[in-house]
Each structure stands twice: as C-alpha cells, then as structure tokens.
Structure 1
Amino acid sequence: MGQVIYVCLHVGQTLSVQRVRHGRREKLDLMVKLTAIVLICLATTCLFADTKADPRAVRSANIAEIRKLAIEGHVDAQFYTGFMYEKGQGVLQDYAEAVKWYLKAAEQGHAGAQINVGIMYFKGQGVLPDYAEAAKWYRKAALQGNANAQFNLGLMCNKGQGVSRDYVEAAKWYLKAAEQGNSGAQFNLGLMYYKGDGVARNFAEAFTWYRKAAEQGNAGAQFSLGLMYYKGQGVPKNFAEAAAWYRKSAEQGHVGAQFNLGYMYEMEQGAVGGNAEAAKWYRKAAEQGHAGAQSNLGYIYDIGEGVPQDHAEAAKWYRKAAEQGNAAAQLNLGIMYDNGHGISQDNAEAVKWYRKAAEQGDMTAQYNMGVKYANGIGVPRNNAEAVEWYRKAADQGHEISQVNLGHLYENSDGVPQDYAQALKWYGKAAEQENSDAQFSLGLMYAKGQGTPQNYAEAAKWYRRAADLGNEIAYYNLAILYYKGLGVDRDYAETVRLLKEVADQEDANVHFSLGYMYYKGQGVIEDHAEALKWFRKAGDEGLKEAMNYVNSIEKKVK
C-alpha cells in the first residue's frame, strides 16, 4: 500500500474578501456628550426686583424712556437696555454697550443680568473671553436660584472652565437646576450618574434623569435613554423602546441616534424595515460626517441589500470614512482596490489602505498585509515582513494568520525554522476549528517535529480535521488505522475512511482502495473492484498503480 503521508501547504494565495461593518458591535455608538447649551435669560421673562417703578411701564415704554430709567438706576431698565444692545433691537447691536448695562443691573443683584454677564464673558462678546469672570457671575445668579445659571455653573465645574474641575460641585449645581426642570441639567446629571462622576455610579438614577430630560425633548437624553434600553442598563433590555427613543432623537438630527437607529434596522432589532431603512438613517448620519455611518452605508451599497448594488457608491462612502481614520472602511476600500470593484484595480492603493487599517490593529487588514508581502503583490516580496503582519493578526486570534505563521516557522520561510513555534501557532488555530491547522498539528505529532512523536495525538488531530471535511486528514488517518499507529489496527476503518474521499481526484486514495480490494483487507477480496481503483490512480499519474493494472489484466487473460 502507498506509504505517502501528505504535507499540506497553507500560505494563502488570495486575499481575504471579508467585509467589516463598522458598528457591528453590541455597544453601537456610545458617544454621549454633555449638553452645553448656554441659555440667555430674555428680558420679557425676567422679574423686576425694583419696586419703585411699575415693570409693565418699562416694557411698554419707548427706547428713550427705557434708557432714561436705566440711567436713573432702574435695574430692570438697565437689564432691558443691555438686552436691546445685545440683540440689536431698536438700536445698533453693540456687545460692549450690552455688557455695560448688564453689569449695572448685575451689580444690583439682577439674576438675569448676572447670567447674561457670565455668558458675555464666556463667549467673549463685548469683553475679552474670561471663564473665571463667567463662572463668578453664574455663581451669583445660581445662588439666587436661577436654574440656567445653576446649569451653566455646573457645566463649568464639570469641564474645569474658570474654576477647578470638580465633579461633585458640578453634580450639586446640576441637581439644583434639574429639580427646577432644566432639561440640560437633567441630562448632564443623568450622564454623571451613568459614568459615576461626582456621584456613585447608578444606572437606575441615570435612567430617571435621562427620562425627565428626554420627555422635554432633549435629543441627547433621548439618545442616552435609547442606549440604556438597548443595553438593559437601569431598565430591562427592550429593543423596541430603544429604537423608539433613538427615533425621537434622530428626528432632531442627533447623529449618534441616526447611526444607532440605522444599525437596529440593519440588525432587525426592535425595528422593522431592514436595510432600506438602515440605509436611510445611515445616510442622514453619514451626511453629517459620521464615519461609522459612512462605512456602513458603503457596505450596504457594496452588497446591494436594501439599495441597488453600486460599487462606485460604496467606494465613495468607504473613502469618506477611511479618510476620517475608520479602520473598517480602510480595510474595505483596500479590498475594493484589490478587486477593482467600483474603482480601478490598484495593488499599491490596496496596500496603502490595508496598511492604514492594519496600523490601527485591524486583524483582517494585518492578515492581508501578510499575504501581500508573502506574494509580492503591491509591495516587494518579503517573507520576514509577512511574518510580522501575520504575527500581529495571529496575536489577535486571526486563525488563517495563525496557520500561515505556523507554516512559515515549519518551513523556515522568512524566519528560522522553529518547530516549537510552528506547533504553537497550529495549535491556536486548531482550537478555533481550523481543519488545515488540525491536519498540520497531526502531521507534526506523527513526524515528531517540535514534540515527541505521538501517533495517538496525530490520530486525534487527523480525526478532528477529517470531521471538518479535510480530505488529506481522512487519508492520513486511514494510514494510521492500516498500520495500527496510535490506534488499533483496523482494515475495515481504513477502507471506510478512504471511501469518504474516494470521489476526489486523489491517486493515493484510489491506489490504496485498489490495494485493499486486491489484498482483501477490510473488504472481501475483489480483483475487479481493485482493477477499477488502480486504473483511476493510474489515469491520475501514479505509475505504481499501472503495475497492478497490468498484473491483474495478465491474470485475467
């Protein structure tokens, strides 16, 4: 019987064509930003603190009369004069003049004027920007109970603007404003509970404050509420509720909500509409510059699900995302250059984009870089460089890279021969159910390379590879049963294993089957059946098989 034990080569000759969806991950878009709206107290909504004049007279007076009252020290008139100059209502807009009159009112304790002075210092309107001055005036208004000032002061404490960063102080002022119904403060307080900044982390409390703000229409809070429903944080997981809140936020233009809603449509999680609806929301986010949405929109055009397949459109969106540094888009753009889909085929450009993604740690791109260097496509052939890229991908668990790395170590291709390293990398891929790695591991145990010779281990790995359909593993396992190496000798099992792969064009398998029928090993001796298999092996180029064909035919004659 044939004594050949196959050696299988594993270096990939074609690039991976895996597409990677950015956002195909449980956490979706988790970017939650503080609400940073700086609210200006309008003159028509502020109360008059001065009892010497009827505030209605100020509102109904003409500009000259208001200015006269302001000059006389009427606090509300001073405030309103500042407001007119700030907004250019009835006078030429003049921020410096606005600050002057706001200050006069603020120094008399007018809370609305105090917050507006703070805003002017914050924005550098009519004065040089000065966060410390802004915080000072916010504090004065906040201490009078002005919710907007409390919110703004909380924000400055949160961000360390004009005051030392102090999350506890920020949470204190957010709470004061939130309890008065300020939606920005409610949202930011929810975020502090979510992150555990300045307060003990508490998802249930975060959820409570997010909902209060969300019900007032705060888009950031609606997005965050959707995220908590999606992840089941502070509330039972509920995809339908998540999608509903994302939609409210998305309809207000919240880019993260648009992306996440698109994702939920694509994944059919609590939202029915499939890729057509996904594409709609991805496009809205993509047009706002969201790199993940641009990448996913490109993917949908690439595969043509929910939209007509359009490789050129896919390439356009991949490029937009790739130029923002999105690794998935960089990988997919590289693949499009490799295949010439939607753009002219260009190996150098493919390598350029693979490299960008690979340097960000994308293991598929790292694998593709390894293949490029191993085959000299788009770069000079360099197996040492291939090894480095395969190793990066292999360290992340990329099974084909692990197989290829094992092969390079086994065959001293680009690295010094090292059977122990080969065994290590084959083993990692084998545990991921890679049949080539399982076969190679079996072969190394059979040959005693990097490990003491162990036919029982060889048989174990050949069997696992065979169970996954590896044809050569069937043959090598059959040989072990034939010889009784690592397993009990069993001719019937040898025949069974050979027949599993007999439909393949494999001369050694066909010769071995012929031999078993010729000798009557594991089957009833049958020279006609043996002749059939020997002829197949001979037709496939095995000269030894033709010797048996000639011998049997002579006996028949």
Structure 2
Amino acid sequence: MLSATLDYNDGNYSEAFAEFSRLAKLGNEDAIFNVGVMFLHGQGVEQDLAQANAWFRLAADFGLDEARDAAQLIAAQTEHSTLEQAYQALQKSISFRQFEQTLQPIFSAEKFTEKNTEPPLRIHTVDAKYPQSAYEKGIEGWVWLEFDVDASGAVKDVDIIDAFPDKTFNRAIYNAVRRWRYEPYRVDGVAQNYSSRSLLYHFTTFKGKRYKASFASQKKQYQRKISELIESAEQGNALVQYYIANWLNADEHNATKLLRYHWQQDTASSDLLLKSAINGYPNSQYRLGTNLLRGEFTQTDRKKGLNWILNAAQSGFVYAQYRLGRELLDKRFVEYDQDKAKRWLTMAANQGHFRAQRDLIDVLIENEEFVQAVNYLTLALEHDAQHPDLWFSQSKMAIKRGDKALASDAINKAIKYAKEREWHLAKLQAYQQQHKL
C-alpha cells in the first residue's frame, strides 16, 4: 500500500493502478477507494464515472464513509442504470461478501480455538541459550521457525523463516529446538508425522533488576522509535505492521510494553497481521494462512488459510510454496491434488528449500519419474548426507527399478541414521521386512 501510494504521488499512475488493483482483490479498502479515484480522474486508466462509482460503492461496502459520499456525488449527475450495471459487474469479481467467505478471519484472543487443531504436546524442552553479547547489550528479538515432528515425537528438519534482529538468535533457538521431544501425534490411534509445526519464539531481557535498568536507560530512545513505527504502521507500511504484530505476540519485551499503550485490544497482534497481509506482505499472508489452518488466535478455516497461503506463494515466498504443496498432498481433504502439489513443491525445491526437495522426491518416485527424482535426491543429500528419509526414498526408488542390492543398502543406512537421531523406526523396519531387505 505504501509503495502504491508513493507511485501515485510521483505520478507513476500505471504502476499505482496495477498495485492498487492487486491489493483491492485482498480486501484492502483504501486501495479499492484509490482505484475509484483513478477512474474518476482518468489516472493510469481511461476516465469512467460509472467505474468510479462502482469502486466507491465497493469501498463503502468495506466500511469507508468517504467512499459512500463520493459515490453519491457521482450518482447525482449520472444515469442510475449505467451505474448499477457497472457495480453489479464489479461484484462478480470483487465483493465484501466474497472477502468474508474467502479471506476474512475471525480472531480470538485464545491461542487454540478448537481441540482438534492443537499440535502435539511438547514433553521435553531445552531452553534456548540467550547469546551473551545480545543479553549484555539488552538486545531483544524473535525467531520464526517451522519444523516437522516425526512419529516418535522427535523434531526434524528445522526451517528458520524469519528473525529479528537477523541472525542474532537463530543458532540459539535452532540448537535448542532440535533437542525437543513431543508426544507422538496420533490419527485413529496410529502415530503419524506432524508436518510444519510453526513457532514464533521470543528472546527478552526481562530479568529483574537488569531488565529495569536497561528499560530505564533505553525508554526515551524506545519511545521516539515507537512513535515513528506507529505512524508508519498507520500509513500502511506492511513491513512495519508485520514486525509490530510479532512484537505484540509477546508479553515481556521492552518494546511490547510501549506498543501496548497504543494497541491495547486483545487481538491487536492479529489485527495488524491482517492489515499487513491485506497490504500485500507475503510473510504476513503466510503466517495468517498458517494460523487459520491450525486455529491459532483465530477460528480454524482451511479454505481461508489456503487462500492466504496461495497469495503468499504466488508472490514467490518459498515457505508458502512448500506449505501449499504439502497441504495439497493431504488425502484427508477435498483439496488433494497431486499435480498441483507437485508444481508448488517443484517451485520451492528449485529455490533450494530442503523439505520441498525431500517431499518432491517421493512424489516423483511414485510417478516413476526417476531421472528428476535422482536429480533432487542428489541436491538434498548435499544438504544432509545422512538424512534417514532420503535414504528411505533411495531404497523405494531402487525397488521400483529392480535393484534389490541398492535397496537393501539404502534401507540399512536409513535405519542406521534414524537410530542415531532417535527417530521413528517402525515404518523403516516394516518396509525392510516387507521386501526382505
């Protein structure tokens, strides 16, 4: 929204019109209003009062009173049937009802609103060690990560999606999370892998006297910066809205305490995340989508969740591309589509995303596309040469190609490496027995 507004103010009307139009499809009421303004004045598009009226009426549907006034001014000097026809035509592609049904979340202050959306219960935790240099300087931050949990409850394949400050806390939380254990996730009594556990982990200097001293010395500096951030967020800066949403997700940060003076409502973090997503920021779109899938701070809604993830994926956000492919492979849901899943996994795999390469290999093996499977297997093994899943995939491919010696060697390596990592063995051992390897 901010970049679109800057383009408009600089007279780059064609670029601004394209950006506003894209944001309008996400339900951004200010962008919808601005499209109306550009139709009204013929900026970046041919002047059309009927279209201007239609877009103003649409913005009014989203709650903008000034848009309703603008639509009424046009209606007073234009034939009603022409205006109504344009408005009805617009409703077929963009409408508030459509936004409510496909994108608008219903937020809750509770973290998990439905029992069946809860992730596995963590039963063993290793605390992340606060980096000494960051602690002594009073630096606070967060790390957003995703990982899978295997059927034994072991954490596997950790992804650092984003962090603030960048790289300050990444290694600390990465080393800790890899040693966590979860209660095995079961479906109909059978232990299953749990894909894409998402976590926003905060580091805070809230430590008694040291915290009070650091807060007192930094308070004026914080307040000046916070005021600038608030103004930037209110102007539609999606990146700032996203960062503030992440800060508001914690309780004990110095910055959080000052931000809460301005954003006091229980759902403030989610509200800002939605604004950032509507303003077109892929990180926010993806996080909002994952929240909707899992029921975190919002009512669970798979359709809306996938729609937000799709928007992020279409922007090239690799984690969204992987997640969309992963979700489309889940046979429990009507969206199951292996061909679409394969396309999204391929996009992510080609950007070097390890989990996408890992899962794509199995899809390619199932479809007997062995040359491509070997290519991605080679890339994935360069990332982790002792990954049990990769050697299991190697064994499955060897069986399909009639090479039992290679299959035996690969499954033995898979079991060996899984034992070393304390990962689930039953599936590997059952496969070994089934094929007499």
TM-score range with shorter-chain normalisation?
Answer: 0.3 to 0.5
Q: Which has the higher helix share?
A: 1
TM-score (norm 2): 0.42
Of the two structures, which has the highest relative contact order with CA contacts closer than 8 Å and spacing of 6 or more? 2
Q: Which has the higher strand share?
A: 2
